[in-house]
Amino acid sequence: MGNFCSVSISCNDLFSHCIQCFLSKAAYISHLEDNFIRLQSELQKLILTRNDVMRRVIVDEQSLKMKRTDQVQGWLSRLQAAENQVEELQLLKDEQTQKLCLGGYCSNNCKFSYNLGKRVYKMLQVVTTLKTEGDFKNMADKMPEDPVDEMPIHPTIVGLQSTFDKVWTCLGDEQAGIIGLYGMGGVGKTTLLTQINNKFLDTANGFDVVIWVVVSKDQKLEMIQETIGKTIGLWDDSWKTKRLDEKALVIFKVLSQKRFVLLLDDIWERVDLIKVGVPLPCPKISSKIVFTTRFNEVCGHMEAHKQFRVECLAHEEAWKLFRMKVGRETLDNDPDILQVALLVAKECGGLPLALITIGRAMSCKKTVNEWNHAIQVLKKSAFKFSGMDKEVYSLLKFSYDSLASDTLRSCLLYCRMFPEDYKIKIRDLIDCWIGEGFCDEYEAGYSIIGDLLRACLLEEEDYDGLKMYDVIRDMALWLACEIEKERERFLVQTSIGLTEAPETRKWEGVKRISLMGNRIENLSKIPSCPNLSTLFLNENSLQMINNDFFQFMPFLKALNLSYNYDLADLSLGISRLVSLQHLDLSSTKIKELPEELKALTNLRCLKLDFMFSLYIIPWRLISSFAKLHVFRLSDFGRFPPEDSVLFGGGEFLVEELLCLKYLNALSIQLKGSCALRKFLESQKLHSFTQFLHLEGLEELLAVLSLTGMKHVDELVISCSRFEELKIDYCPRDIQQIRQFHCFHSLGKVIIQECIKLRDATWLVFAPNLKNVAISHCFVMEEVISVEKCGQVMEEIESLKPFAKLEYFRL
């Protein structure tokens, strides 16, 4: 038979268990009221604890920029859920209270009362547990830093997209760790940097943090460290007490572990990043540093791997920005306004800051008359226009003030003597500076120009010219009228169609006057100018100058009468200008220089270029100018008489020039082999010659005879008998040319009327040629002769001939 299992249970135990079970369940009903009162009491205490916790959390989050811990957030969520459930139980209890009977031990609906009592009891346990968990040591933790803080920027940016694209592409280049953005004040450098910063909001490109620091003019390394420290979470009470080197060490340790982008806005001089604590980008550190500056030379001091110039806006972009600021309502108010508005926008010179300032000011001008008045103000005295002085010129003045010396500032302000949009020839400008005493040598003049270009206060115009930004010129005039009116007064009325000189009363007390580019024919009135230092009368229609016109100008240093094509007689009154240092008579019809000019003993610069009618210069006149630094004479008149130093094709002129101790810049025309031979005998003369015109040579010319002329930048050869420029082929001669940088400065060559010349192979020795014109050379078969280059072709090719050629006329 099978096995059996028997279970024996005591009846007493079974009864006892049943009784306990009944009583416990009954207790849920009988203790419902007491438990609920306890539940409400404990919940109120818990809510008070919750309020204390929330106050501490809010303080941490708002003032310390921390974030509540997950533990606190979970506790608050559970507490809120418990509070909701207690409210629900309160509603259920109110419904069932009246149903209890038998002294609270029975209910009309026992099952419902049992479930309610059980839920109240369990909720009491939950609330008690929450109360014990509400004692937190840490309410909040430091928030993880956002990789980049968004910077405010105008929603519509005009004209920077191309530069932005180049810089953004460069940020992905491993070889470009340090990137410099430079340009004049108000051109949009900060806007561009802001665009770069905000672009990281869309794509972090693998960078851990983007740090924005405004450096400005009075940079302090401590302030840079403070900004970096706050951005990467180092800022606390202990940080304030650390020394500069201690902070640098901490910053270095943190940033060395990150891939960062450091954006430095508006730096004026080199920032020593090592002292700040910033790890320099290298192949092992793929971080980036991008900075903006007004000075190109700062890019060099910062050792930027890539440099980008932020340019003024092109015409279409400038007009688009200006139109946005004025608004369509104003521009559409009168169809004639649109044409005037285009002229007003052009006066801003493409500078965004000026376009914005003037555009806003004109947005409320709804009549053509108001717009016509605006264009007149901008042309004559833009600094009087609303907002220009405070918002534009004051900003640009920072660049002016930051120039390294008073000489640089004076040389910049001198450029305002020229008309708006005028191409200033580099040679003419340096001649003026030397004549005025701002510098003594050409090298110093080129250095000054380099400094002004790097400061973005001038711009290059072709290879031989400069241009002053319109807004910089206006700023310079503002400086003269507002800032420096106690020290120096300017009267500048250029290219405005004057047919008569301004009234003589306007000349009183003025230091510099420029009337160039007008149509003035006569100077008959006699002004009194005891303070006048500079007088530009060039590019007019002068025919007559009163002999007494210069009588009351005792301190005049610079006089420019050039490009008055109808001026045939030189006023003898010029001889009274004993302080004169710069005299320019180029491109006039003057036939003779008077002997009385010997009184100009302080003359430093004398310019007589393109004076096709000039044939008499008295003997020993040029040599009497003992202080002469610059002398220019080209294309003088034919067949000078024997009583002129020009007799003999320039041979005797060369002899007089040799007497000048301080001469260091020369332009000269030599007519004949004897004059050239005399010239080449002097190492001194051809070492600083800048322009040479050879004419009427009767024998072959060896190129190597000209190799000592290291500074010649323009060469003209016109010789009807000329058959060839002799060229030596041996490598030794080419090595000599390369070693001494011969023809390195030569930028322009004109060869004309050499009717027997067959080639110009020697041009391969001028690697920086930009302009070549060959005309009336009727038998020329080839410019460069491969046969003549022959065995030294490899050496010639290494010179990279014609690599910079911009203009070629054949």
Assess whether pLDDT exceeds 70 at residue 503: yes
Region 648-658: what's the mean pLDDT? 91
Whether 45 is in a domain gets the answer: yes
Whether 147 is in a domain gets the answer: no
Task: Kindly indicate the confidence band of residue 25, based on its pLDDT and cuts at 50, 70 and 90.
Answer: low
Q: Single out the residue in 386, 413, 447 at which a domain terminates.
A: 386
Interval 109-140: pLDDT, tens:
677 777 777 787 788 788 888 777 777 777 77
The predicted structure's pLDDT at residue 105:
45
Q: Which of 183, 180, 158, 202 is nearest to 263 (CA)?
A: 180
Backbone angles phi, psi at 646, to 5 degrees: -80, -10
Contact in structure between 557 and 438 (CB atoms under 8 Å): no
Contact in structure between 590 and 570 (CB atoms under 8 Å): yes
Contact in structure between 498 and 522 (CB atoms under 8 Å): no
The predicted structure's pLDDT at residue 624:
96
The predicted structure's pLDDT at residue 617:
95
Task: Kindly indicate the confidence band of residue 22, based on its pLDDT and cuts at 50, 70 and 90.
Answer: low
Q: Check whether residue 301 and residue 324 sit in a common domain.
A: no
Q: Which two tokens stand for residue 49?
A: 């604890």
Whether 155 is in a domain gets the answer: no
Assess whether pLDDT exceeds 60 at residue 7: no
Q: Check whether residue 346 and residue 425 sit in a common domain.
A: no
Task: Kindly indicate the confidence band of residue 597, based on its pLDDT and cuts at 50, 70 and 90.
Answer: very high
Assess whether pLDDT exceeds 80 at residue 92: no
Q: Check whether residue 122 and residue 166 sit in a common domain.
A: no
Q: Check whether residue 287 and residue 321 sit in a common domain.
A: no
The CATH number of the domain where 283 resides is what?
A: 3.40.50.300
Q: Check whether residue 365 and residue 443 sit in a common domain.
A: no
Assess whether pLDDT exceeds 50 at residue 630: yes
The predicted structure's pLDDT at residue 155:
67
Whether 459 is in a domain gets the answer: yes
Burial 233-254 (b: 16+ CB within 10 A, else e): ebeeeeeeeeeeeebbebbeeb
Q: Which of 261-265, 408-412, 723-727, 744-748 has the lowest mean pLDDT?
A: 723-727
User: How far are the Cα atoms of 15, 114, 241, 563 from residue 29, in angstroms, in the given order?
Assistant: 22, 5, 66, 118
Assess whether pLDDT exceeds 50 at residue 739: yes
Region 399-420: what's the mean pLDDT? 90
Q: CA geometry: angle at 441 spanning 435 and 442, to 5°?
A: 95
The predicted structure's pLDDT at residue 58:
80
The CATH number of the domain where 429 resides is what?
A: 1.10.10.10
Assess whether pLDDT exceeds 60 at residue 435: yes
Would strands 544-545 and 260-267 be described as parallel, antiparallel, or unpaired?
A: unpaired
Give the whole-angstrom CA distance, residue 654 versus residue 666.
11
Q: Check whether residue 323 and residue 302 sit in a common domain.
A: no
Task: Kindly indicate the confidence band of residue 16, based on its pLDDT and cuts at 50, 70 and 90.
Answer: low
* Helices (H), ranges, 368-405: 368-381, 394-401
Q: Check whether residue 116 and residue 177 sit in a common domain.
A: no
Give the whole-angstrom CA distance, residue 262 versus residue 215.
12
Interval 33-79: pLDDT, tens:
777 788 788 778 878 888 888 888 787 777 666 778 778 888 888 88
Whether 536 is in a domain gets the answer: no
Rounded percentage of the chain residues whose pLDDT exceeds 90: 40
Q: Which two tokens stand for residue 333?
A: 């108010």
More confident: 510 or 132? 510
Interval 654-686: pLDDT, tens:
999 999 999 999 999 998 888 888 898 888 888
Containing domain of residue 190, as a range?
Answer: 161-309
Task: Kindly indicate the confidence band of residue 724, based on its pLDDT and cuts at 50, 70 and 90.
Answer: low
Task: Kindly indicate the confidence band of residue 533, based on its pLDDT and cuts at 50, 70 and 90.
Answer: very high
Q: Single out the residue in 352, 386, 420 at which a domain terminates.
A: 386
Q: Single out the residue in 386, 417, 438 at which a domain terminates.
A: 386
Q: Check whether residue 331 and residue 404 sit in a common domain.
A: no
Q: Check whether residue 715 and residue 651 sit in a common domain.
A: yes
Contact in structure between 232 and 239 (CB atoms under 8 Å): no
Assess whether pLDDT exceeds 80 at residue 564: yes
Task: Kindly indicate the confidence band of residue 237, based on its pLDDT and cuts at 50, 70 and 90.
Answer: confident
What DSSP assignment string belongs to 596-645?
GGGG-TT--EEE-TT-TT--B-BTTSGGG-TT--EEEE-S--SS--TTBT
More confident: 397 or 521? 521
Whether 523 is in a domain gets the answer: no
Map residue 705 onto helix, strand or coil: helix
Interval 437-453: pLDDT, tens:
999 999 999 999 999 99
More confident: 192 or 388? 192
Give the whole-angstrom CA distance, residue 641 versus residue 50.
113
Q: Check whether residue 252 and residue 377 sit in a common domain.
A: no
Q: Which two tokens stand for residue 727?
A: 């060229």
Whether 546 is in a domain gets the answer: no
Q: Check whether residue 724 and residue 780 sit in a common domain.
A: yes
The predicted structure's pLDDT at residue 729:
44
Number of compact structural domains in the chain: 5
Interval 204-231: pLDDT, tens:
677 889 999 999 877 788 999 999 988 8
Interval 283-324: pLDDT, tens:
666 899 999 999 999 999 999 999 999 999 999 999 999 999
Whether 558 is in a domain gets the answer: no
Task: Kindly indicate the confidence band of residue 1, based on its pLDDT and cuts at 50, 70 and 90.
Answer: very low
Biggest CA pair distance of the chain: 164
Give the whole-angstrom CA distance, residue 763 versus residue 584.
32
Task: Kindly indicate the confidence band of residue 584, based on its pLDDT and cuts at 50, 70 and 90.
Answer: very high
Task: Kindly indicate the confidence band of residue 5, based on its pLDDT and cuts at 50, 70 and 90.
Answer: very low
Assess whether pLDDT exceeds 60 at residue 154: yes
Residues pairing with 282 in the sheet: 285
Q: Give the number of residues written for the chain.
A: 810
The predicted structure's pLDDT at residue 744:
82
Q: Check whether residue 323 and residue 299 sit in a common domain.
A: no
